[in-house]
Structure 1
Amino acid sequence: MDISGTIQLVATLAEVAVALIAFLIAIQKKKLYGWFIGITFALFVVFDLARIFALDMSAELHALVLLIACISMVGAVWLLWKSQ
């Protein structure tokens, strides 16, 4: 694996860590935005793994995963903004 592939895998592992921490925030701190952030980063992991490993995923499904992830993050930042 070349350096760019290694960097992509490390970035994906970081996304996994963010998703897990966000789910802990949702469960332990009972913060709804944690679910949205967790979903967003879990979908980013799916998006990246499909791209890195050239999984058989249609372009439409790939785009839909990205769209749902982005909408989920909009919900998270909206909730964070409202809570301030």
Structure 2
Amino acid sequence: MDIAGLIQIVAILFECAVALIAVLIAVLKGRSYGWLIAITFALFALSDGVRTFSPYTFPRLHSLILLIASAIMLYAVWMIYTESQKTVRRNSYTDPVAEWKKSA
């Protein structure tokens, strides 16, 4: 195995690690986007694994897997963005009565 093949295997292992950590985020933290990230990186690992170990089988399948994974990741990032916006709005609210009492 050449160095490029070894690097590809390490990259697949990293993708699997990201998928596992994303499952932990989903289960332990209760964040639904964790499942989407896990699915995305599992699809990336699957695509890279198939491409590495049997490069001449189903070339269109690789493109389809990457398209689906990218769409799922786009939705996950959108969920993270909207959740962070809710947090910013919630933290930026100041109660005018409480502020008035502090200044009095």
Q: TM-score range by the shorter chain?
A: over 0.9
Structure 2: state its 5+ residue gaps: 85-104
**Contact 1:50/1:56 (<8 A) preserved:** no
The higher radius of gyration belongs to 2
Relative contact order: is structure 1 or structure 2 higher (C-alpha 8 Å, sep ≥ 6)?
A: 1
Kindly report structure 1 stretches of 4+ aligned residues shifted beyond 6 Å: none
Corresponding position of 1:75: 75
Question: What's the TM-score once normalised by structure 2's chain length?
Answer: 0.76
The 10-residue stretch of structure 1 (12-21 or 48-57) with the greater mean CA deviation from structure 2:
48-57
- TM-score, with length taken from structure 1: 0.93
Cα RMSD for the two superposed structures: 1.2
Identity %: 52
Matches for 1:30-69 after TM superposition, within 5 Å: 30-54=30-54, 57-69=57-69
CA-CA distance at 1:27 after TM superposition: 1.0
2-structure distance, mates of 1:55, 1:24: 32
